[in-house]
Amino acid sequence: MATTIDWNDFDSHQQPGVAEALDAAGVETGTDDPVETMPLTLVRKVDVDARLVAEGLGLPPQDVPAMVADRRIASLCERGVGEDAGLYRFTFWFGQKRFRVTTDASGQPVPGR
C-alpha cells in the first residue's frame, strides 16, 4: 500500500507555520495585493505519494509524512486554471532543496509539465 500525504490546496496555504517555513527556506511569500481565499466548496483533496516527494528531496520515504506534519518539509499547492484546469502543481522545500511536481486530480504525476 502506498504511503500518501493528504493535500488540500486551501488548507496547505492556511495552516499555521507554513508562511514561516517558506520564509525559513528563503521563499518569497510577501505581496502588497490582497489575497482572496478560495471558498471551501471549491476545494478538492489530492493525494501525493510520499515516495515521490522522498525521491525528489532525497529523503527516506517513511520519514516524509511526519516531516510534512511537523513542517520540516514546507509545501505549496497551486491549482491550474484555463488550459491547466484539473492540474495541481506542488512545490516542496526541505532546507535548501526544492522539488516541484505537477499532478492530475488523482495525484498522478503529469509528464512534461
Q: Give the domain ranges of the chain.
A: 4-25+43-104
How far is the CA of 87 from the CAs of 10, 46, 77, in angstroms? 15, 10, 10
pLDDT band at 112 (very low <50, low <70, confident <90, very high): confident
What pLDDT digit, counting tens, does each position of 31-72 carry? Answer: 444 444 443 334 467 888 999 999 999 999 999 999 988 889
What pLDDT digit, counting tens, does each position of 75-93 carry? Answer: 888 888 888 888 999 999 9
